[in-house]
């Protein structure tokens, strides 16, 4: 959200409607909301308390999302696993996925490793890269069992 002012956002978003009604007019609240938006976003203000509550709900959602992005780079375990499977290769991929030489020598370890990734298969996962990631899992597993024989 560009140039947000976190301190103002918290007080404005956390106050009860009664507190806001006693401290602000709708025109003042509109001005406060506008100040939280980036300069290139047009906003004409709010005309009713219901409209303000809807806007405040959107701001809460966006501020929560912004905080989550800082705290959690990946929004899900699926996204993280798929990223590690599709964006890395070679030693780096092996390290990220917890694959060791033992996986290439022990069929039980190979099967156990593969079973940890069944949640990203397209029949269980709707992620856009689930098919690609499951193909990587299958390819790695095939190499493990080929070498483990």
Domain boundaries, the chain: 6-71, 77-148
Q: With bands split at pLDDT 50, 70 and 90, how would you rate the model's confidence at 7?
A: very low
Question: How many beta carbons lie within 10 A of that of residue 130, not counting itself?
Answer: 21
Q: Which residues make Cβ contacts (< 8 Å) with residue 49, sequence separation at least 6? A: 17, 21, 26
Token pair for 21: 């009604």
Token pair of 36, please?
Answer: 């939280």
Residue 88's pLDDT is 93
pLDDT in tens, 59-86: 888 877 777 666 667 778 899 999 999 9
Threshold 0.95, pTM exceeds? no
The tokens describing 121, both together, are 């298969």
Residue 2 tokens, joined: 């560009």
């Amino acid at each position: 959200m560009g140039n947000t002012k976190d301190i103002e956002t918290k007080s404005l978003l956390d106050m009860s409607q009664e507190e806001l009604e006693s401290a602000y007019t709708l025109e003042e609240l509109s001005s406060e909301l506008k100040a939280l938006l980036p300069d290139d976003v047009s906003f004409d203000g709010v005309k009713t308390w219901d409209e303000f509550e809807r806007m405040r709900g959107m701001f809460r959602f966006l501020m929560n999302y912004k905080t989550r992005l800082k705290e959690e780079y990946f929004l899900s375990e699926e996204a993280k696993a798929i990223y590690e499977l599709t964006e890395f290769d070679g030693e780096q991929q092996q390290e990220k996925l917890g694959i060791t030489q033992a996986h290439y020598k022990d069929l039980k370890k190979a099967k156990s490793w593969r079973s940890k990734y069944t949640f990203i298969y397209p029949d269980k996962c709707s992620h856009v890269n689930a098919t690609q990631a499951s193909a990587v899992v299958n390819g790695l597993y095939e190499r493990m069992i080929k070498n483990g024989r």
